[in-house]
Structure 1
């Protein structure tokens, strides 16, 4: 009996197609004469007109393969359930609209970061701290000690750049940034929730 290995991926996205093939949601490894044929096996044809999420069980993939090749042993080395975001129409991004969205995001992030830094400085009384430090080191009182505030103003963006591991679009090191880690964790939680909800709906156990 010949063996075939499949590795379904947890998160999948498919646009502008009418059917879902095994190669769209999983990697196949096995004899060359089987691999290409198995990858082209259709799992199902979504009858939807808008973006829809589906949960595809590994059992469904195995059944589709064994229906065509009854004598093949299928081993799963990936996820138990694959989530698919299916869009029957491939969207065409508009350059002007993309730039507008980018500009809006930049403005919101800049404004939010500015308010956050100002609120932090006010909350911890940074101005008073600078004045106190100046008095400790010089014995004099100054409401705006430049030799402390200027290095602080320079050091803050350097600290932000170092923390987020980016200068523009380039990474300083190959380590994932804190934002990437948080986004990845958030995506995992979203995917798990979607899978749980769709699975429960399919079994008739989900209640609003």
Structure 2
């Protein structure tokens, strides 16, 4: 006897998604899907959650909530998920126009501060005395201002910073991320982890019987952690 065919949905949640205030979050906005074409078209438009003003600007949608919503439409559908068992949804607010005065003040403070930091460093290591000594060793004469050493050194310092950060204005020298980009990525990952942990705490301690975008029993999703997968 032939076994009955069970339709399967393969799903991978995105790390973050964005919606406008009052916009309904659909499954297609927060996940990549692979299923029967007709079924997939329906699932892409499946509403999951509509953020309210009380929900704040960041909402956590849990895989258990997603599976429950999918099963309400396709009870026999088997769900296989890969990757994260949750997705963070940013509720975008109105972007304020940039304040040029504040930008100029910040730029000036950074410029002066970085310049003072470089000058203090050179004073601490007695760079002027080092240049004077090098000049005397090379030429046999002592000079109070060895400009032919100081000027190339100054240009080299600036060129070294440009190469270190791998970017000159909008031009990149190669595809490797700069140290600043790596540090910003690490910061964003830590921030996401913190937000997810806090959102799960809210879900666990919520007095309501059914949180708007999750389940009251936390991260019981059948997955195996950050890069795990599972089925339902």
The answer as to 2:58 corresponding to 1:57 is no
Gaps of 5+ in 2: 1-5, 207-232
- The CA deviation at 1:8 is 0.8
Secondary structure of the 1:173 match is coil
SS of residue in 2 equivalent to 1:74: strand
Q: Which runs of 5+ in 1 are unaligned?
A: none
1:27 Cα offset (Å): 1.5
Q: Which residue of 2 aligns with 1:177?
A: 178
Which deviations, in whole Å up to 9, do the C-alpha atoms of 1:115-162 show, x marking residues without a partner? 221122122221121112112222222221111101101101111111
Partner of 1:14: 19
Aligned partners of 1:51 and 1:85 also within 8 Å: no
The 10-residue stretch of structure 1 (147-156 or 113-122) with the greater mean CA deviation from structure 2: 113-122
Structure-to-structure mapping, 1:31-180, within 5 angstroms: 31-48=36-53, 51-87=56-92, 90-94=93-97, 97=98, 99-100=100-101, 102-180=103-181
Closer, same or farther in 2 for the Cα pair 1:50/1:79, shift >3 Å?
Answer: closer
Q: Deviations over 1:6-27 (max 9, x none)?
A: 1111222222343211122211
> In 2, Cα distance between the equivalents of 1:40 and 1:17?
16
Distance 2:81 2:57 in 1: 26
Higher normalized helix content (fraction of residues): 1
CA distance in 2, matches of 1:150, 1:134: 13
| Aligned equivalents of 2:103, 2:12: Cα separation in 1 | 36
Higher relative contact order at CA 8 Å, sep ≥6: structure 1 or structure 2? Answer: 2
Deviation larger for 31-40 or 187-196 = 31-40
Q: Which residue of 2 aligns with 1:28?
A: 33
Distance 1:183 1:202, change over 3 A: same
Count of aligned residue pairs for this structure pair: 201
Give the alignment's Cα RMSD to 1 decimal: 2.1
Of 182-191 and 125-134, more deviation after overlay is shown by 125-134
Give the TM-score normalised by structure 2. 0.79
1:68 Cα offset (Å): 0.7
Change over 3 Å in CA distance of 1:82–1:168 after alignment to 2? same
Give the TM-score normalised by the residue count of structure 1. Answer: 0.87
